[in-house]
Every structure is written in C-alpha cells, then in structure tokens.
Structure 1
Amino acid sequence: MALGNLLARVSTRPLAARACRMSTQSRSYALSSYVVSPKELEEALNKNAPSPISTDPKVIPICAAWFMPNDPEKRTGIEAFKKKRIPNARFFDIDGVKDHESPYPHMLPTCDLFAEAMAKMGVTKHDELVVYDAEELGLFSAPRVAWTLRVYGHPRVHVLNNFKLWVEQGLPVETGPPLIPNITTYKVPTYNTDMVVKYAEMKTIGYDYGKEGAEEIQILDARSKGRWEGTEPEPRPGLRSGHMPGSTNLPFQELLDPKTKALLPPEELKKVFVSKNLDPAKPIIASCGTGVTAAIIELGLKEARFGSEDDRRFTNKRSDKDE
C-alpha cells in the first residue's frame, strides 16, 4: 500500500508539470475583438503585467507610428515613439521591415526578415499584439502593420482605437529612450498569399475592366479625391496621380471620426460602404499609394463584417525570393 502510494506520487509529478505547461500555452487570452478600446487594452495589460522571469505569453503594445515622406514638420515614427508611448511598447519600423530590394516602398519583406524583426522586438509567437499609431494621427499606419502581422500568420493581433484617446483619457505613458527587449526566437513563418493581390493580377483586372465575362471585382482606393482624380500630385516625386479603371474612391478619412480620428462604429462603417454602392457578395480589393492607408479600408471592412473575408484582399507585393 505504501509502495503504491509512493509510485502514485512519483508518477503524477510529470503529469502535473505537463498540465502546468499546457495551461500556460492555452491560457485564455485577454482580448476577444480585433479592434480594441484604450480601456480594454489597459485592463489587458494590468492582467498581464510584465515579469523578467516569466515566459508566459504576454500582451505587447506595438507602436507602428509612421509619417508621410512629405510631412511638413519632418516628423518620424521613431521620434514619436520616443516622445510618448504606451509603457513596455515595442516599435515596428515600416520603413525598415520591408523588401529592401524592391524599388517600391513598403513592399512586404521576406519571411526571414520578418522573423528577425519580431525576434529583435522581443516577441514570441504566443504573445498577443496590439498595434497602435502616433498620437497626432490617431489611426493611420497601425492597420497596415496589423495586416502585415496577420499575413505572416501571427495568431493574436489587434488594433488599438486609438492612442490619441489613450492619452486624452489619462492612461499611462512613458517617454525617452525605450528599454531594449531581450531577443527571442521567432520561427520563420509562412506567407498567406490569399490576402494579397500581386501587381500582374492587378494589371489584368484593370485591362479587363468593362469587358464581357470579366470578374466583377470592386476596387477601393483610399487616397484623396484629388489624387484619385489626377488633379493633385502624389506625395512622392515622379509618380502620376489618377486611378485604375473601375476603381471607387473611398478616402480613408471617411471611415474615421473627424474629431477623435478613431475608426467609426460598425453600423456607421456599413453605411459608408453602402453609400459607395458596394456589393458585399462580390470580391473587394483595397488599394492606395504604397500600401499603408488601404489597410484602413481593410480594417473597416473587417470591423463592419462587410463582405466575405475570403473575398477581401489588399494590393501589395512581397519579395519574389520566397516564391
């Protein structure tokens, strides 16, 4: 009897250890919706306070601050990050994590480069990431970074709506040079080709517009009306303004509250899409200049649940080296 009890105690120890590991990996995540409010993020961060000795999955704010190249104040994302950020946030550099061999800005990076960037930010595949923008812009480049994270298969990604409100609501911030996170091991991911429309396909869609038998694909252009019409110059020298045949102009600002610069509620988003005569039963492609603000349209479609997620794509191109 004593021997049986001893064996039972010995044999249950590894089982308990395995159960502990399983509970760590399958813990209930802090956030359930893709777009989260400042209050929701604050509560999630309080429940997942950072610990230097813990290896549990974490909720990590990711600053995606980025400014247009013709910004009159010459602001940069990294300067905005150092000036004011959510405590323990990491910085995702849109101009750095990209295809450096492409002549076009913001083309998707190789899988190896993406994994290296995530490791340097101290992120693991189990962490829950909440992407946010510069305070001044409200919602601008964070949807693009969140979309990029999803393209490379990070399982838990959210967008904060938004850092401007976070600051106005008096939630905690930190300033100055950030702490350098410990480098992690981030497994090189695969790339979800179903989320991206490549250049050759977009050319075919443009050439086939209006032809009998051509697929009815709705193209939404997030640029300003002037750039879409060709009456205003592009912010980058040498680029022509104007639009693809058959595209619909939907300046991304129409999806944001003009005062708070936050994404509109789902029902109001639906009204905007309906006002553009969009059909949720047909495929939708979001586009813009270099693939940043088009992600705001994609975010709005996702939040409003407008159309099938399988039929919503985004114009951007990754490096051909991984194909």
Structure 2
Amino acid sequence: MTSSDDPLVSTEWLAAHLGDARLRVLDASFKLPGARPAAYDDYLAAHIPGAVFFDVDAIADHATDLPHMYPDAAQFARDVAALGVSSGDTVVAYDSGSWMAAPRAWWMFLAFGHTNIKVLDGGLKKWRAEGGATESGAVTPTPGRFSATFDPAFVRSRRQIEDNLASRAEQVIDARSRERFEGRVAEPRPGLRAGHIPGSRNVPYGDLIDAATATMKSPADLRGAFEAAGVALDRPLVTSCGSGVSAGVLTLALYRLGVRGSALYDGSWAEWGLPDGPPLATGPT
C-alpha cells in the first residue's frame, strides 16, 4: 500500500486511505510518569477513527522492573494480534504530536520483522488542526493473525553499551534535554542518578520537530542537528534517552537520512542511571 522508503506518511495520505481494508491505525501516545491525564485517557477522549491504543507499557517485558522493555517475539505477536493487526497489514502509528512514542512503536514493528509500518507526521495535533475527524471511546478490534521474529541487532543491552565504553565502536546519541544530559536537573524517574553515558552525544529530540506543526523537520535540518552535535552519520550509531522511547525519534530521523543498521539502547537512562549503574559523566560534551 505504501512503497516509499520514507518512514513517515502525511495526514493527507492517511485521510485518503483511512477506509482501506488492510490499514490498521495505532495510537501509540505516551507520557512521562505522573503526567495527567494519562495517555490512554486522552485516547478515550479523542482519537483518529478506528485507531486502537498501542500501550508501550503493556506491550513489554513484565519480568523486569525496568520500564517498557522489549517483550519476546511470542508476546509481541500475541499483543499486536489482539489489536487487530495481521502480518499483511499496513500499520500507521501516531501519537499526540509530542512524538512520544509513535517512533518507538515503529522501531518495535521493524525489530519484529514487520516492515510495512509508518509514522504519521504531525500526529493527532496536525490531524485535528486540519479538521480531521476524531471519535471517542475504546475500539474493540477483530483479532488479527500476526507472526513475529525478533532481530536483536535492532537493540542494545547495558552490557553491550558498557563494552562500547572502551571500544567506542559505536557512537551513542542521547535524545534527552540538555539539562538532563548534562546532569543539571533531576531525572523524572525517582532514584536515578543525573548525567549521561560517557562519550555520548546529545541531540534533544525536540530539536528535530517543528513546534508549530508537530512535523519532523526537513532532512537538511536533521542532518545539521546531528552534525552540530559531533555525530558522524557514516559511523555505527546507537540511540538512547530516558527509557527507550524518545530515542526512537532520533532513530527515525537517522532512517530518513539514509542511515541503516542503527540500534536503540532499550534500557537507556532508566537502566544506566540506577544507583548501582555503570560510570557516568556530567556537563556538556
């Protein structure tokens, strides 16, 4: 249904295809701990017609205390099928327009072998600004048939990032705000240390988004943001953030620039920043 290699689709494209039989729309909105109303309550109040809620916290590994870590392939397939998604479907993920966390859902689908996945550029904010229809209440889909095979190359573990401290084979890019990256403010999750992974670079994900329209900036602007942070786009890359969600924005932006083979540090600062975690650095890089 979509042939472009661009991971984004426009609101105009979605409006034209919303009734297609093999299209599935997912509201993957997410908010930081303690934020109210909760993302699911926002979904119940207003969502794109037919959209089901992709809960980042639910479609996750519940055997760990770390937030929304990747589940195994069997759970992902089961949870996604329950949302009405089948392996032959085109999936469009969107969020409120905050970019939390449609790119995370996009990267998860790719990691589990489903390549026909797109992100709605501008999310619900742009959709509503253009007069797009919304509906309220929960959607109960007919279960789909989905098969998943996990490719571990899409993610990195704490051990792999620790090993990288010495080798520096991969560049680590942190999507958090500069204040959090430099350790000048407390983390939103209680009990975490402040700072960043030694040697990592900082590209706050908000710098890649046009605040007025909630759309991703042009490829030229994206390239400039990475290069200004000292990121070499022709070298291996790993993205990180507070808990593996907004890192997906960097991953998607890199993908738009033609970067393939990057990875996402799933545990991110929620794991690295634990009191007994690995070494950290503070201040700018």
**TM-score normalised by L of structure 2:** 0.89
Residue 40 (structure 2) aligns with = 78
Residue 42 (structure 1) aligns with = 15
Residue 279 (structure 2) aligns with = none
2:111 alignment partner AA: V
1:261 alignment partner AA: A
Question: Which structure carries more helix by proportion?
Answer: 1
Residue 314 (structure 1) aligns with = 264
Residue 276 (structure 2) aligns with = none
- Contact in 1 for aligned 2:201/2:230 (Cα 8 Å): no
2:34 alignment partner AA: N
**Residue 244 of structure 1: how far off its partner (Å):** 0.9
Is 1:153–2:113 an aligned residue pair?
yes
For the residues of structure 2 that align with 1:313 and 1:252, how far apart are their CA atoms? 16
Is 1:64–2:24 an aligned residue pair?
no
For the residues of structure 2 that align with 1:101 and 1:241, how far apart are their CA atoms? 26
- Correspondences of 1:273-288 after superposition (within 5 Å): 273-288=226-241
- Contact in 1 for aligned 2:52/2:139 (Cα 8 Å): no
- Contact in 2 for aligned 1:222/1:293 (Cα 8 Å): yes
- Contact in 1 for aligned 2:81/2:144 (Cα 8 Å): yes
SS across alignment from 2:18: helix
1:234 alignment partner AA: E
Residue 24 (structure 1) aligns with = none
1:39 alignment partner AA: E
Cα-to-partner distance string for 1:218-253 (whole Å, 9 max, x where unaligned) = 111011111111111111110111011101111111
SS across alignment from 2:93: strand
- Contact in 1 for aligned 2:154/2:263 (Cα 8 Å): yes
- Identity in percent: 31
- Contact in 2 for aligned 1:99/1:110 (Cα 8 Å): yes
Q: What runs of 5+ residues in structure 2 fail to find an aligned partner?
A: 268-285
1:38 alignment partner AA: T
Q: What runs of 5+ residues in structure 1 fail to find an aligned partner?
A: 1-28, 51-57, 209-213, 318-323
- Contact in 2 for aligned 1:130/1:158 (Cα 8 Å): yes
Match of residue 139, structure 1, among 99, 107, 118: 99
Cα-to-partner distance string for 1:192-212 (whole Å, 9 max, x where unaligned) = 111111111111112x1xxxx
For the residues of structure 1 that align with 2:150 and 2:33, how far apart are their CA atoms? 28
Q: CA RMSD in A?
A: 1.4
Match of residue 246, structure 1, among 185, 192, 199: 199
Is 1:267–2:220 an aligned residue pair?
yes
Residue 320 (structure 1) aligns with = none
Residue 82 (structure 2) aligns with = 120
2:226 alignment partner AA: F
Residue 15 (structure 1) aligns with = none
For the residues of structure 2 that align with 1:182 and 1:263, how far apart are their CA atoms? 33
Residue 143 (structure 2) aligns with = 183
For the residues of structure 1 that align with 2:29 and 2:216, how far apart are their CA atoms? 16
Residue 19 (structure 1) aligns with = none
For the residues of structure 2 that align with 1:277 and 1:155, how far apart are their CA atoms? 30
For the residues of structure 2 that align with 1:122 and 1:217, how far apart are their CA atoms? 37
- Correspondences of 1:293-304 after superposition (within 5 Å): 293-304=246-257
Is 1:290–2:243 an aligned residue pair?
yes
Cα-to-partner distance string for 1:286-321 (whole Å, 9 max, x where unaligned) = 00111001000001111122x4x02x111016xxxx
Is 1:172–2:133 an aligned residue pair?
yes
- Contact in 2 for aligned 1:31/1:40 (Cα 8 Å): no
Residue 188 (structure 2) aligns with = 235
**Residue 70 of structure 1: how far off its partner (Å):** 3.1
- Contact in 1 for aligned 2:175/2:205 (Cα 8 Å): yes
Which runs of 4 or more aligned residues in structure 1 lie more than 3 Å from their structure 2 counterparts after TM superposition? none
- Contact in 1 for aligned 2:24/2:84 (Cα 8 Å): no
For the residues of structure 1 that align with 2:231 and 2:159, how far apart are their CA atoms? 24
1:201 alignment partner AA: Q
- Contact in 2 for aligned 1:60/1:127 (Cα 8 Å): yes
Is 1:194–2:153 an aligned residue pair?
yes
